[in-house]
């Protein structure tokens, strides 16, 4: 995880405000550096000012690689925030930023070996620029993993910036009235114009050589004449330059008859396990240790729900058994809920109990923790109870509001607050973390810098209530359309906001369900092999296939038959992994499970603007 800030100005080097620098350094506490570039016109005494700021959270390789990376020969610069798991199909060993930068430099280098912008023949320069543009897009197209970046091609005086096609890393942009362009991981308070998310529609490019040329022809120019070009992600071959979208279109197939029952022995359940194990292993392999044993390297944003508990269970099979795994479970003191519970306890003359332990996600979290201890008894599972009093929520509220911008609704605040405090990882654990019996709580803050999130499972496997509604109204076509809509808007609706909030604590969220290969498999798998809507009953299927010889079902098949249709394949995987209770857990939105919804007023709507 890193922090990026870039500015382009006609008047001076523009740096981020002090508070913005603090947020950037929170994202990347291991390194902070500023790099400046001035470009002058040969036709007039005009200058364009480029300012690059990067902070670094070191999670790859055996050393910290300072950013921005600079190539002295070409003056090219890279600010990178992401994880390149593979480049051109090869697994990246060591530091990914250095490898990506070298690939970009080689791609940008003019074919004739010149410095590009200093070439005497303009036609040759343009031809070289066009060829290198093809090579550059090819490099971006062959990076597997979450990323956002700003790259200055010093050979041809071009700025490139982009997010991956799913939008798993934050990148915002703003163009002020004075013509100053800012691109940043977070909103910069210095900007007079609101920031917007950089769209996940492709690679954005600004040709600075054109701007400088226009400045030279108009010496009185005070506002830079931007011409933004976008090289799009595309699912089809295009006559113009484009990049192949790594996520194919949703499988549109509709069943010609009622699909068979989804069971433990279904091929899609086996393939789901294989693909998820591979994705998870990529994200938790070789994470550096902070401090000494028995510090945790990996933590899970843990509600005790289906998606996150499966990740914890599979992580157990990948990590050495002597490495603890922290389970971060957040619970809020919601004044409205606390008042209702107090009134009920007084009316019934009973003990009110802990407001935090009565929280829905705390209840399921404790149950999920106990099930993990039962199924994986050799592992130290630290259940980190993150309790947030209302006064503390109030104290941090404005900070969260600023971090999540440009998102600005009550629902955004509810979700962002839950992720903000959970990712802080500060709470209590039982003194004896190896047994279910608590020896008393003690203060604890996780040392893990990598946080696993279950985001994406609901979108891919039909986990929301609206998916069932879509199926009941419009059958499989309606269900496919709703899932396609959800997957397509993840970057705009969730991921940038979540990245900005979580990374403020110097931790990186990783999303195994949003691995490119995993998403490709899921979107290409028929929808009835991912969820149970519209599939046959197991008994009918067995009868039709003459498999009902024993007159009774296996115990696990009986449990599987009773599971909800939402995310049925994932529920069956949990059952296969020995987690019967987890397989039955209902979907519950984070803002309701942690009780961040309507913290200040019961009359607000989720869509209300803050």
Nearest one of 226, 108, 239, 228 to 162, comparing CA atoms: 228
CA 34 to chain centre: 26
Angle between helix axes 306-318 and 360-375 (nearest 10 degrees) is 30
Nearest one of 125, 294, 157, 134 to 203, comparing CA atoms: 134
CA distances for 205 relative to 61, 231, 310, angstroms = 30, 8, 40
Decide the pairing of beta strands 228-234 and 202-207. antiparallel
Angle between helix axes 306-318 and 568-576 (nearest 10 degrees) is 40
Count of H helices and E strands in the chain? 20, 23
The structure tokens listed for 595 are 């009780």
CB 204 within 8 A of CB 136: no
Nearest one of 327, 318, 323, 319 to 294, comparing CA atoms: 323
Phi-psi region of 321 (alpha: psi -120 to 50; beta: other; left: phi over 0): alpha
Q: CB under 8 Å to 263, separation ≥6 — which residues?
A: 269, 538, 541, 557, 560, 572
The structure tokens listed for 425 are 């990882």
What phi, psi does 100 have (nearest 5°)? -65, -45
How far, in Å, CA of 69 to CA of 53, rounded? 10
Three-state DSSP state, 405: coil
Task: State the DSSP string of 55-98.
Answer: EE---SSSS---SSEEETTTTEEEEEEE---EETTEEPPS-HHH
Three-state DSSP state, 188: coil
Three-state DSSP state, 200: coil
How far, in Å, CA of 252 to CA of 481, rounded? 9
Instruction: Write the DSSP symbol of residue 113.
Output: S
The residues pairing with 461 across neighbouring beta strands, listed in sequence order, are: none
How far, in Å, CA of 553 to CA of 506, rounded? 50
Active site annotation includes 2: yes
CB 298 within 8 A of CB 287: yes
Total length of the chain: 610
Cα-Cα-Cα-Cα dihedral sign, residues 146, 150, 154, 157: positive
Look up tokens 């400046």; give the residue: 36
Rounded to a whole number, what is the distance in angstroms from the first to the last CA of the chain? 28
Nearest one of 593, 300, 588 to 418, comparing CA atoms: 593
The residues pairing with 151 across neighbouring beta strands, listed in sequence order, are: 78, 160
How far, in Å, CA of 24 to CA of 3, rounded? 5
Active site (catalytic) residues = 2
């Amino acid at each position: 995880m890193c922090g990026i800030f870039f500015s382009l100005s006609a008047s001076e080097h523009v740096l981020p405000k002090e508070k913005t620098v603090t947020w950037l350094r929170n994202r990347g506490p291991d390194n902070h550096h500023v790099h400046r570039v001035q470009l002058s016109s040969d036709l007039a005494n005009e200058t364009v000012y480029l300012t690059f700021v990067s902070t670094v959270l070191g999670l790859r390789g055996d050393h910290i690689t300072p950013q921005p990376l600079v190539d002295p020969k070409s003056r090219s610069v890279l600010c990178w925030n992401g994880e390149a798991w593979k480049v051109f199909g090869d697994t990246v060993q060591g530091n990914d930023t250095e490898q990506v930068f070298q690939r970009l430099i080689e791609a940008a280098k003019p074919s004739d070996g010149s410095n590009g912008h200093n070439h005497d023949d303009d036609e040759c320069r343009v031809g070289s620029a066009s060829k290198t543009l093809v090579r550059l897009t090819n490099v971006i197209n062959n990076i597997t993993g979450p990323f956002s970046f700003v790259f200055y091609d010093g050979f041809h005086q071009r700025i490139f910036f982009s997010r991956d096609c799913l939008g798993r890393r934050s990148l915002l942009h703003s163009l002020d009235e004075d013509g100053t362009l800012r691109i940043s991981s977070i909103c910069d308070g210095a900007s007079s114009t609101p920031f917007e998310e950089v769209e996940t529609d492709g690679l954005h490019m600004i040709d600075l050589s054109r701007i400088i040329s226009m400045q030279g022809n108009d010496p009185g120019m005070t506002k830079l004449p931007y011409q933004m070009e976008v090289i799009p992600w595309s699912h089809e071959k295009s006559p113009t330059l484009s990049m192949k979208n790594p996520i194919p279109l949703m499988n549109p197939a509709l069943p010609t008859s009622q699909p068979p029952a989804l069971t433990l022995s279904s091929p899609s359940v086996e393939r789901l396990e294989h693909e998820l194990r591979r994705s998870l292993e990529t994200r938790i392999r070789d994470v550096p240790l902070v401090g000494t044993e028995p510090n945790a390297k990996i933590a899970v944003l843990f509600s005790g729900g289906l998606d996150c508990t499966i990740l914890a269970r599979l992580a157990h099979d990948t990590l050495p058994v002597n490495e603890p795994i922290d389970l971060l479970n957040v619970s809020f003191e919601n004044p409205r809920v606390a008042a209702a519970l107090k009134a009920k306890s007084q009316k019934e003359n009973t003990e009110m109990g802990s407001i935090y332990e009565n929280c829905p996600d705390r209840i399921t979290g404790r149950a999920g923790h106990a099930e993990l201890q039962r199924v994986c008894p050799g592992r130290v599972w630290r259940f980190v109870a993150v309790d947030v009093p209302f006064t503390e929520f109030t104290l941090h509220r404005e900070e969260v509001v600023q971090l999540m911008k440009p998102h600005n609704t009550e629902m955004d605040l509810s979700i962002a607050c839950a992720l903000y405090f959970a990712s802080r990882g500060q709470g209590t654990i039982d003194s004896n973390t190896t047994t279910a019996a608590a020896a008393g709580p003690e203060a604890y803050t996780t040392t893990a810098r990598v946080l696993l999130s279950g985001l994406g499972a609901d979108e891919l496997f039909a986990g929301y209530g609206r998916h069932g509604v879509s199926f009941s109204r419009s059958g499989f076509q309606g269900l496919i359309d709703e899932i396609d809509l959800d997957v397509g808007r993840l970057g705009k609706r969730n991921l940038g906001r979540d990245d900005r909030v979580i990374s403020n604590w110097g931790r990186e969220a990783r999303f195994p369900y949003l691995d490119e290969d995993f998403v490709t498999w899921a979107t290409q798998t028929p929808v009835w092999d991912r969820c149970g809507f519209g599939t046959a009953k197991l008994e009918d299927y067995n009868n039709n296939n003459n498999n009902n010889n024993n007159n009774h079902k296996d115990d696990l098949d009986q449990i599987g038959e009773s599971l909800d249709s939402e995310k049925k394949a994932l529920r069956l995987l949990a059952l296969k992994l020995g987690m019967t209770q987890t397989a039955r857990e209902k979907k519950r939105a984070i803002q309701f499970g942690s009780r961040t919804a309507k913290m200040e007023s019961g009359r607000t709507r989720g869509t209300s603007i803050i």
